[in-house]
Chains A and B, each alone.
Chain A
Amino acid sequence: MSLTQAEAQIALNDIEKTENRAAASQYHRVSAPYLIMWGVIWVIGYTVTAAIQEISIVWMPLIVVGIVGSILLARREQGARTAEFGWRYGASFAVIGIFNTALVAVMSPLDYNQMSALLPLAVGVYYAFVGIWTKAWRMMPLGLALIGLTTLGYFVMPEYFRYWMAAVGGGGLIVGGLWMRNAGS
């Protein structure tokens, strides 16, 4: 059994294609539960803050739940690289939280809608970068959609902005998570 150069090249192309698809599928699968969990947190957070007009009381416990949940999800991963990805994911959210807090401090006073828009914009940028720099390419359109929809809601329907964020922000993360979960299956 001998192979021609063309056959060898086709086999190498097939290998590369399959490896890329497998890696993307795995990264998407790892991302999915984080997105779904944070999506649920956003839906609850934005809906409740829209109703009671108080940000910190609602968000603080939800953020704690999200951080603990992220840690538990990261620990659930058995593989070395996917577990590392999970930890990086959680740590990145912590950085976004710090960035957001610093931004609020620097730019205060901010009104409710400005405060509500900051985190989704920061998360959208983070997701877009994850999509650009890793094999989890689906994160890029998700991040850009999050930025676009947040900006759209901020300007087009300011009076319903938090309900908008609950629906398209939280709902978007949940749908995005389900989209990731079904990647490659």
Chain B
Amino acid sequence: MTDQPDPIIHQPVRLKIMSALKALPERDLLEFVRLKALSGATEGNLGAHISSLEQAGYIEVQKDFHHNRPRTRAKLTRAGRRAFEDYVAFLREIIGEA
């Protein structure tokens, strides 16, 4: 266990993105529009944070067409899931739950 929180996850919008994706089964993808609603971020802001998480290898982004409309969806990678669990364990340790 490190004594510092993961700087990639330790940001309010990115934390909400990771939390929302973590709530889904491993193979499930969450649509951009739902992530926007759940995170409360603006479209541009959300795109930037998604890029950061994707570059870190924590999420995987898939773009396709659904009913003739472009669709962007994301899911947690295995590394992302592990990093998130470590982050939660880090928080629990601070409040003395670990």
Residues of chain A within 8 A (CB-CB) of B28 are 26, 78-82
Query: Is B56 at the interface (CB under 8 A from chain A)?
Result: no
- Given A26-B28, A80-B25, A81-B28: A18 and B38 interface contact (C-beta under 8 Å): yes
Query: Is B79 at the interface (CB under 8 A from chain A)?
Result: no
- Write out, one digit per residue, whether chain B residues 27-40 have a CB within 8 A of any chain A CB (1) or not (0): 11111011001110
Residues of chain A within 8 A (CB-CB) of B96 are 5
**Number of A positions contacting B (CB below 8 A):** 27
Q: How far is the CA of A184 from the CA of B38 in the complex (A)?
A: 7
- Given A8-B91, A8-B94: A78 and B29 interface contact (C-beta under 8 Å): yes
Residues of chain B within 8 A (CB-CB) of A80 are 25-28
Q: Are A19 and B19 within 8 A (Cβ)? A: yes
Q: Are A12 and B95 within 8 A (Cβ)? A: yes
Query: Is B10 at the interface (CB under 8 A from chain A)?
Result: yes
- Write out, one digit per residue, whether chain B residues 5-22 have a CB within 8 A of any chain A CB (1) or not (0): 101001010011001111
From 72 to 91 in chain A, residues with beta carbon under 8 angstroms from any chain B beta carbon are 78-82
Residues of chain B within 8 A (CB-CB) of A26 are 23-24, 28, 30
Interface centre among B4, B10, B30 (most CB of A within 10 A): B30
- Write out, one digit per residue, whether chain B residues 73-98 have a CB within 8 A of any chain A CB (1) or not (0): 00000000000000010011011100
For the complex of A and B, list the 4 residue pairs with the smallest distance between their C-beta atoms, beginning with the closest: A79-B28, A81-B25, A18-B19, A22-B20
Residues of B within 8 A of A (CB): 3-5, 7, 10, 12, 15-16, 19-31, 33-34, 37-39, 88, 91-92, 94-96
